[in-house]
Structure 1
């Protein structure tokens, strides 16, 4: 794959709105890996000064209206401020594909934020916050979800896909509702459960001063109480999916209680073994792996066709590792090349042909 830094043209221009851990790490990675020119904004002038001193950005602005044109505009703001910042980027950063790093996507994708917005969410972070902890390697090998809308332009999705790959991450296209449901199951509900476990253990301990905390409790509750303002916003933004996930978890706990009350040792052993097998399968799951194969097809030049292709493949469990678009001379169609895992290539071609038929 050829990334933006390897071309003979001008350097990629990146506008960063938000200069904390994630935004700062994007800036460092873009400068180091892509040779990008990075202009940053943060509402806190001290953060802007610190980001400039740390080499996170080439320059800063004190107002998003001062950004000017860019290739990519990335918003790394608290959940509650994302919509406003994304809207500002769509208005003030001319020509850019506008994206964000928020962990909930439905409200943003379904809002009227402009046709240049494509949602994003890197599965990367740290237990520390602030631009001082930014790292250029934070996204190395990390899944980075992209949530285009049906009308998203193919050329913008391709640009964002290549940008994310250039940061060292693995872009994965997914529908916004599916994204929020999966985040509730794999991140948001576990945070709620960890909080509840800590409360239950505190009540069980009472006034005792016995040091009973072991590795199982530490592992299971590591995320309890993390960044209260951030997580309050996440719970609120993804409330419906989190409530559904909690209801399902409560049902499973009731089933576990009934199984325990039955006193059936064999059934309990089987239940424990099944959980172990399922955990191993979940940790091993992936839509990538092995050598890649190119799938090249001619597609009609109609709005949203590339986003439709990417979302269709995603629903089938097929991730696009790289993509390239080449318009035909008459601009009525274009050639798209998709690189997918070799084992998925035949199925990918079938699905692509169904979409463009």
Structure 2
């Protein structure tokens, strides 16, 4: 089915609309048209990797902004963004990228966000909204308060989506469909901005949720950060076992549970250090369950083991 209206007259009306946009999306094997309001005139995406690139692709596809400008230090990534029509313009200067931006999305690795905030602060216009997509929140929100000028609102954000791959080449249209997009407002102004950001997240197919920065970091330590740490640890435990035979014999179970260990080591180093307190608490909690499991195995407690496994299986089947 065609994705755009056939008549030139209809196409002109669609493209020139200042308040709404029409696009086609595939739902359950069928193409359906969607009409959404343009929520921002100018959006700057700082960081054209998997997440930033995917946001840019969907912003353009769904025509949710008049203009999308991308920033990336890597020239090949900038060229890839233009080639894939993810941005109207790209630049290697973050200050130039945010000039006239109504919304700025920080999509760089966590360790670069504070320095990027410091660099762009003088170039942000009054009334601009800044958000990020980092996997940790408390430290970023605290630093943003100190670094951004009055009249600029910061709302911590985190789309819980992605793959183990990185870079603009790995960016995907529809990456956020059906995924949670967490926002962490901490003031009256940021709560107001969150309402508009939530509408944008919905337009990108995501499910917005507002929680505090502390809640975010505690929850993500349990459902994302610790699982990544464990995946790396599982690979280490198997490495060198029986002269490397263990890894050679690994099947789908091992590959599934360690898939995320192929993620960027540098990125997860940053996340681990930034949210180390909550991750350490989750390791302590996890050790309690490992200790319980170890005890059941040592006692050869069949009923206890089955109960332990089944209670977890019931919860997992509902996810």
Cα 1:44–1:216, aligned 2, differ >3 Å: closer, same or farther?
closer
1:53 alignment partner in structure 2:
83
Q: 1:42 aligns with which of 67, 72, 76?
A: 72
Q: 2:124 aligns with which of 89, 93, 104?
A: 93
The whole-number CA distance in structure 1 between the counterparts of 2:249 and 2:211 is 43
Q: 2:55 aligns with which of 21, 26, 30?
A: 26
Q: Secondary structure at the match of 1:224?
A: helix
Shift of 1:27: 1.0
The whole-number CA distance in structure 1 between the counterparts of 2:236 and 2:247 is 17
Unmatched segments (≥5 aa) in structure 1: 284-357
The whole-number CA distance in structure 2 between the counterparts of 1:8 and 1:132 is 29
Q: 1:13 aligns with which of 42, 48, 62?
A: 42
2:260 alignment partner in structure 1:
223
Q: Does 1:247 align with 2:318?
A: no
1:188 alignment partner in structure 2:
225
Shift of 1:225: 4.1
Q: Does 1:64 align with 2:94?
A: yes
The whole-number CA distance in structure 2 between the counterparts of 1:21 and 1:48 is 13
Length-normalised TM-score, structure 1 = 0.72
The whole-number CA distance in structure 1 between the counterparts of 2:95 and 2:247 is 58
Deviations 1:275-296 (A, max 9, x none): 2123234x1xxxxxxxxxxxxx
Shift of 1:42: 1.1
The whole-number CA distance in structure 2 between the counterparts of 1:261 and 1:14 is 58
Q: Does 1:80 align with 2:117?
A: no
Q: Secondary structure at the match of 1:102?
A: coil
Q: Secondary structure at the match of 1:217?
A: helix
Unmatched segments (≥5 aa) in structure 2: 1-18, 22-34
Q: Is the 8 A contact 2:42 2:101 kept in 1?
A: yes
The whole-number CA distance in structure 1 between the counterparts of 2:205 and 2:77 is 25
Deviations 1:104-152 (A, max 9, x none): 1110112224351100011111232211222221111211110111343
Deviations 1:160-186 (A, max 9, x none): 122222222111111111111111111
Matches within 5 A, 1:47-196: 47-66=77-96, 67-94=98-125, 95-111=127-143, 112-114=146-148, 116-196=153-233
The whole-number CA distance in structure 1 between the counterparts of 2:247 and 2:177 is 42
The whole-number CA distance in structure 1 between the counterparts of 2:47 and 2:139 is 20
Length-normalised TM-score, structure 2 = 0.80
Instruction: Give the aligned length.
Output: 280
Q: Is the 8 A contact 1:97 1:160 kept in 2?
A: no
The whole-number CA distance in structure 2 between the counterparts of 1:245 and 1:8 is 41
Deviations 1:66-104 (A, max 9, x none): 232222110110111012223444432313210011001
Q: Secondary structure at the match of 2:186?
A: coil
